[in-house]
Structure 1
């Protein structure tokens, strides 16, 4: 094998390695973005659940106060 052919093969291997490395980094970046998106969805769901829970607690407290006032009157 002459030096030119060796150089071509080496360059081809280097390009293939670079392309594989670039695809790998792109895959990792996409995975991280998907993970962050999932985390944001979980955070939004947790906030909604917390808001619903606070609303239910407020309604329960209001109901208990109303009953207590009603019992005091009677």
Structure 2
């Protein structure tokens, strides 16, 4: 089974990568983009026996920095 974990910075946390992307978009002459927040997506191929609790543990202890980041887990249909 495929599982995707989306990790993003919490609101209020400075996002230098997002700012750099926003600046580059403006450099392309594109207007109307008010803000950019960058994050990461981690795709896992797991056995059906991996529980939601196991995924939560992975996220909280390894994949996301809980002080400054949020995460969302998405199980993909087979």
Q: TM-score range by the shorter chain?
A: under 0.3
Task: Calculate the TM-score normalised by the size of structure 1.
Answer: 0.21
Question: Which structure carries more strand by proportion?
Answer: 2
Question: Which structure carries more helix by proportion?
Answer: 1
Task: Calculate the TM-score normalised by the size of structure 2.
Answer: 0.20
Highest RCO, 1 vs 2 (Cα 8 Å, sep ≥ 6): 2
Larger radius of gyration: 1
